[in-house]
Amino acid sequence: MSLYKSISLSSLTDARGGLIAIESYKNIPFDIKRVYYLFGTDITESRGYHAHKNLKQLLICVSGSCEVTVDDGEGSEVVLLENPDQALLIEGLIWREMHNFSEGCVLLAIASELYDETDYIRNYDDFISYSKQVKEGLDECHS
C-alpha cells in the first residue's frame, strides 16, 4: 500500500494563464479547516520532521519545487512536488519531512483541522512507539 495519494488537480487554463480550484469533497476528501504556506525557505533548510495523529493534509508546490519524504515507520518514499496541479495527500500516521526546496518555492498546505500542537508527534522514536500501539490496538479489534 502506498504511503500517500497523488491527486491530479484539474486546471482551468486559457490564454491568460492557469487557475486551479480546490473544494472539499469535490477534488479532496476532507473538509478544509486551515490553509497555510511555506515560502522564502532557504534552499539549505529542511522542514517538517513530524507526524500527526489525526490530521489529513494536502501539499502542493504552487511555485518551484521540493521533495517530501513520507515514512510509515516500516518504509519511506520520496515524492517530488514540482507542478501546481500535483497534490500530495497524506492521511494517517505518516512521518513527513520536506527537503530540497528550490529558490522561490511556495509550498501550500491544506489541512482538515485547525492548528493543534497536541496532534503532533515531533520525535521519531515516539512516532514509532505510537504507530506500534495503534497497530496493536487495531489487531486486537480484528481478532
Interacting positions 100-139 with ligand TYD (CB under 6 A): 115
Interacting positions 50-89 with ligand TYD (CB under 6 A): 50
Q: Is position 50 annotated as part of the catalytic site?
A: yes
User: For residues 122 and 85, what is the distance between their CA atoms, to the nearest angstrom?
Assistant: 29
CB nearest ligand TYD: which residue?
A: 47
Q: Which residue is it, cell 480550484?
A: 21
Q: Which of 49, 55, 88 is nearest to 71 (CA)?
A: 49
Who's near 110: CB < 8 A, 6+ residues apart? 22, 28, 32, 34, 35, 57, 58, 60
Considering the rule CB under 6 A, would residue 37 count as an interface residue with ligand TYD? no
Stretch that binds ligand TYD, among 12-20, 24-32, 42-50, 54-62 (CB under 6 A): 42-50
Which one of residues 29, 48, 73, 84 is an interface residue with ligand TYD (CB under 6 A)?
Answer: 48
Residue nearer to ligand TYD on the CB measure, 50 or 135: 50
User: For residues 110 and 88, what is the distance between their CA atoms, to the nearest angstrom?
Assistant: 10
Measured in degrees and rounded to the nearest 5, phi and psi for residue 137 equal -60, -40
Considering the rule CB under 6 A, would residue 36 count as an interface residue with ligand TYD? yes
Output the smallest distance, CB 101 to ligand TYD, in A.
11
Considering the rule CB under 6 A, would residue 33 count as an interface residue with ligand TYD? no
Q: What residue type is assigned to position 123 of the chain?
A: N
What is the 8-class DSSP label of residue 137? H
Q: Which residues are catalytic?
A: 50
Provide the binding-site residues for ligand TYD, judged by CB under 6 A: 34, 36, 38, 47-48, 50, 115
